[in-house]
Amino acid sequence: MRIVCIGGGPAGLYFGLLMKKLHPEHSITVVERNRPYDTFGWGVVFSDATMEAMKIWDPESAAEIQDAFNHWDDIEVWFKGTRQRTSGHGFVGIGRKKLLNILQRRCEALGVELTFETDANSDLEYPDADLIIASDGFNSKIRNRYPEVFQPDLITRPNRYIWLGTHKLYDAFTFDFRKTDHGWFQAHIYKFDDQTSTFIVETTEEAYEKHGLGELDQQGSIDFCQDLFSEVLDGAELMTNARHMRGSAWLNFNRLICGKWSHFNGQSHVVLMGDAAHTAHFAIGSGTKLAIDDAIELTNQFNRLGHDKGKIPEVLEAYEEIRRVDVARIQNAARNAMEWFEVVGRRYADTLEPEQFMYSMLTRSQRISHENLRLRDANWLEGYERWFAGKAGMVSTTNGRCLPPMFTPYTVRGVTLPNRIVMSPMAMYSAKDGLIDDFHLVHIGSRAMGGAGLVFGEMTCVSPDARITPGCLGLWNEEQAEGWRRLVEFVHINTPAKVGIQLGHAGRKGSTKLAWEGTDQPLDDGNWPLISASALPYLKHSQMPKAMDRADLDRVLTDHIRAAELAATTGADWLELHCAHGYLLSSFLSPLTNTRTDEYGGDHAARARYPLEVFRAIRAVWPDEKPISVRLSCHDWFDGGNTPEDAAIFAAMFKEAGADMIDCSSGQVWKEETPVYGRLFQTPFSDKIRNEVGIPTIAVGAISEADHANSIIAAGRADLCAVARPHLADPAWTLHEAAKIGINTVPWPKQYYAGKTQYETNLAREKQAAATGVK
Ligand SMILES: Cc1cc2nc3c(=O)[nH]c(=O)nc-3n(C[C@H](O)[C@H](O)[C@H](O)COP(=O)(O)OP(=O)(O)OC[C@H]3O[C@@H](n4cnc5c(N)ncnc54)[C@H](O)[C@@H]3O)c2cc1C
Ligand SMILES: Cc1cc2nc3c(=O)[nH]c(=O)nc-3n(C[C@H](O)[C@H](O)[C@H](O)COP(=O)(O)O)c2cc1C
């Protein structure tokens, strides 16, 4: 085969040398516009996994690269006068120049033709090539020739950064955060050879503008950074190696994803590789790793399917299919980490204490969890757990393990929860006339006995016509309040848990069948009239709701007050106002469902007016010493609907009205929504609201392990974690999760103690069997 790699970066060179090594009869040329052994760029970071693969594919170059590697384990964070360090993070770095020189030499030794100082303008310049590798980097001319084929999706990120270097050598991956009059700057610093460290400085567009960095030449920017980071530089100077760039050297990161990676141009097959196909932000490592992994996979597919011209289409398809998955995984983690650095100034740096700030930074990609940090540096993590427990008012003991964050108590107003786990409200559709009966007593009671710190009953409707289904709980009469009293008393006598009541009104989603008879489907008979912010049915065939008039608004307000007054007589500890999921109050908040032209429709203040009136009214009759949370749909997942930005605005309004917490859910507002599900998928909304609005939050949604809850609470992404479906599978979810992470000091109900020891012993045995392979 005749192969031409356009671009002699890591991707083109490594692919060239691998293919030549495996099949010397291939004719391979790498075309590079720069001069030989002339490249720029500071250090690049590799993972151990990539290095292991390189050892297998080409031990010769791998040995040279490994010799030149710098390995370091520690991360150090400089923040507000503190220096914190943790270990066990394992990075390897190498100078880009060094890496490329090793690969160039290896290419020459194997007989790959290297053509330097040649700017390839088009793939059509190589008509005799069977395969053209577009390894010409992020600005790939080759990719840009076929936008309709490759479908590049480019997003320019808001932060500005500058690549600099210094001769000061750091023995840890160092992050330094500095506040200026115009905002925060951060430096990402790592040593990559025995003389040099990479020093990337990053800030927001706003700070960049206000400091006039765009008007400075490179020396001006260097002087600015040197002055700002003088403490960490300790007299060392910063340098640039991008003197070829005109004007400001501050860049914006561009995230690139391509819809397709290969194309037949009529003469040759063209395939994208490395930065030409995808980019990953430097916040979690370098694109070099991805470029090398691409080169290895394409070679692997030729080995698997045959080093033959005829196989090229099949090879390219398999290469794209496999690499796409890995690239997406890394790009996801890179996105989380990148976003953390984009919001760090306005979200975390001014609010979190240094210890929590460090934890938040370490877990920024959300690939590193609480237990993962324990594996890396148990001492550091236990120190952090002690710090966190101390903040929650616990006296830490020196013997025995400190309780991890999810098991620390939490106090709001006069209510102290024994831990941070909440059984989320879940409609059971099993009530008659809205009454709590034995089913609810056993259902909620057993979850309280199972260790959750706060157990919510399902959405409890404020009037008969406020119900979603005929099976929903209600609180509009004394008999219903009596049912709650019995439940609350049971929980308080038998468990340390607190009880929450979620008040709600179904609005346009009311008068429907029980879930197992058809979720959201209108009743066949016995329907009651519906009301909503506007006259818009939920499903096309749903009943048409009436847009609420003044009398409706007044009546429903009174219904909420009556329900809150009744709730106050039950001894329940916590009230939640349901303003999510498309029910009545949510229908006012969303522009999709609120098209009113009176004072209750329009901008944020108008749409929130009625929900806030209801909130203030129930706050006035609910005991002062007890909290009220508000559940919001923080994302409508539909164009034109509310986004997390809107939710933050509403959260600030509820905070101002006296809400104690925002329970951060999402969706179910608009039938055609397209939510993006996944592990902890709603936690970013909680993180945003808690740390930007400054109100405590409950995170909810696909939180299914202690490790998830500990990571969220420890990082300050929420104060409490609500767990719904896992509680349906396991009433004792909290107690079982404690045992699974080796915590045996969380009390079980005294009647169940014999079960506790056996459960813990069996888990320990299973763990040992898994570790040793002996059952
Ligand atoms: C200048 C520079 C500095 C970098 N510094 C760092 C760093 O310090 N740390 C880090 O982690 N990552 C750094 N990166 C990013 C990282 O190196 C890339 O993710 C990685 O190099 C991707 O490899 P690649 O082979 O796909 O592309 P690149 O490394 O970008 O290589 C593309 C090559 O193609 C050549 N080329 C482009 N167009 C043509 C053309 N028309 N004709 C001929 N040749 C062409 C370019 O000169 C370049 O050598 C840097 C990237 C660049 C371009
Ligand atoms: C069966 C069921 C009923 C639910 N009913 C309610 C409800 O009454 N009120 C409410 O706010 N959310 C309700 N939800 C949503 C949950 O409280 C929770 O937000 C959602 O299930 C995501 O959490 P999970 O991933 O832990 O299940 C319900 C969820 C389920 C599975």
Cα–Cα distance for residue pair 9/289, rounded to 1 Å: 12
How far is the centre of ligand 1, averaged over its atoms, from the C-alpha of 137 (Å)? 5
Beta carbons within 8 Å of 561's beta carbon, 6+ residues apart:
617, 618, 621
- State residue 318's pLDDT score: 98
| Better-predicted residue by pLDDT, 179 or 286 | 179
pLDDT given for residue 589 in this prediction: 98
Q: Distance between CA 419 and CA 497 in Å, rounded?
A: 9
* Ligand approaching nearest to the C-alpha of 472: 2
At 520, is the secondary structure helix, strand, or coil? coil
- Cβ atoms of 385 and 377 within 8 Å: the answer is no
Q: Looking at 259-318, which runs of residues are DSSP E strands? A: 262-264, 269-272
Q: Which residues pair with 252 in a beta bridge?
A: 160
C-beta 680 within 6 A of ligand 2: no
Indicate whether 39 pLDDT > 80: no
Tell me, what's the pLDDT at 663? 98
- Residue 149's Cβ-side half-sphere holds a number of Cα atoms within 13 Å equal to 15
Q: Report the pLDDT value the prediction gives residue 733, as an integer from 0 to 100.
A: 98
Is the C-beta atom of 426 inside 6 A of ligand 2?
Answer: yes
Model confidence pLDDT, tens digit, residues 268-324:
999 999 999 999 888 776 789 999 999 999 999 999 999 999 999 999 999 999 999
The answer to whether the CB of 543 is under 6 A from ligand 1 is: no
pLDDT at 45: 81
Query: How many Å apart are CA 689 and CA 695, to the nearest integer?
Result: 7
User: What residues have CB less than 8 Å from 611, skipping those under 6 apart?
Assistant: 577, 579, 585, 588, 589
* CB contact burial 29-42 (16+ within 10 A = b; e otherwise): bbbbebeeeebebb
Catalytic residue flag (residue 583): yes
If we measure between CA atoms, which residue out of 374, 453, 425 comes closest to residue 583?
425
Tally Cβ neighbours within 10 Å of residue 304: 11
Residues in Cβ contact with 310 at an 8 Å cutoff, skipping those fewer than 6 apart = none
Pick the closest to residue 425 from 54, 722, 732, 48 (CA basis).
722
CA angle 24, 27, 32 (to 5 degrees): 115
Alpha-carbon torsion (391, 393, 399, 405), positive or negative: negative
Q: Tell me, what's the pLDDT at 627?
A: 98
User: What 8-state DSSP symbol labels residue 589?
Assistant: H
pLDDT at 240 over 90: no
Contact predicate 512/468, CB 8 Å:
yes
Instruction: Say how many Å lie between the CA of residue 740 and the centre of ligand 2.
Output: 24
The percentage of residues in the chain with a pLDDT greater than 90, rounded to a whole number, is 87
Phi and psi, residue 491, nearest 5° = -65, -45
Q: How far does the centroid of ligand 2 lie from the alpha carbon of residue 724, in Å? A: 6
Q: How far apart are CA 651 and CA 630, in angstroms?
A: 9
Q: What is the DSSP letter of 500?
A: E
Pocket test for ligand 1, best of 14, 30, 40, 44 (most atoms within 8 A of CB): 44
pTM for the full predicted model: 0.92
Q: Helices 96-110 and 59-68 sit at what angle, rounded to 10 degrees?
A: 160
Mean pLDDT of 593-600: 98
User: Which residues lie below 8 Å from residue 506, measured CB to CB, with a gap of 6+?
Assistant: 459, 461, 466, 467, 468, 472, 530, 583, 584
Q: How far is CA 89 from the centre of its chain?
A: 20
Tell whether ligand 2 has an atom less than 6 A from the beta carbon of residue 684: no
pLDDT (0 to 100) of residue 246 = 59
pLDDT value, residue 36: 80
Of 65, 2, 4, 8, give the one whose Cα is nearest residue 291: 8
Q: Whose CA is nearest to atom 10 of ligand 2?
A: 425
CB 165 within 8 A of CB 191: no
Closest CA to 33 of 148, 142, 106: 142
Q: Is the CB of 458 under 6 A from ligand 2?
A: yes
Of ligand 2's atoms, which has the minimum distance to the CA of residue 631?
11
User: Contact at 8 Å (CB) between 451 and 734?
Assistant: yes
C-alpha 699/C-alpha 686 separation (Å) is: 6
- C-beta of 723 in contact with ligand 2 (< 6 A): yes
Question: What is the per-residue pLDDT across 141-172, written as a single tens digit (0 to 9) for each?
Answer: 999 999 999 999 999 999 999 999 999 999 99
Angle CA 417–421–426, to nearest 5: 110
3-class DSSP assignment, residue 759: helix
Q: Which among 319, 348, 384, 583 is annotated as catalytic? A: 583
Contacts of 338 (CB under 8 A, 6+ apart): 157, 159, 253, 255, 281, 283
If residue 772 lies in a helix (H) or strand (E), which one and from where to where?
helix 753-772
Q: C-alpha distances in angstroms, 771 versus 744, 765, 766? A: 21, 10, 9
**Ligand 2 centroid to residue 725 C-alpha, Å:** 7
Q: Which ligand is nearest to the CA of 117?
A: 1
Q: Is the CB of 119 under 6 A from ligand 1?
A: yes
Nearest to 683 by CA among 718, 655, 650, 632: 718
Cα atoms found within 13 Å of the Cα of residue 730, Cβ hemisphere only: 12
| pLDDT (0 to 100) of residue 53 | 92
* Cβ neighbours for 558, distance < 8 A, ≥ 6 positions apart: none
The phi, psi pair for 207, rounded to 5°, reads -65, -40
Residues 509-533: what's their mean pLDDT?
97
pLDDT of residue 244: 58
Kindly report the average pLDDT of the chain as a whole number: 95
Largest Cα separation within the chain, whole Å, is 90
Q: How far is CA 592 from CA 143, 170, 537, 653, 675, in A?
A: 39, 53, 12, 20, 16
pLDDT of 386-411, one tens digit each? 999 999 988 766 556 789 999 999 99
Report the distance separating Cα 64 and Cα 563, nearest Å: 74
Q: What is the pLDDT of residue 193?
A: 86
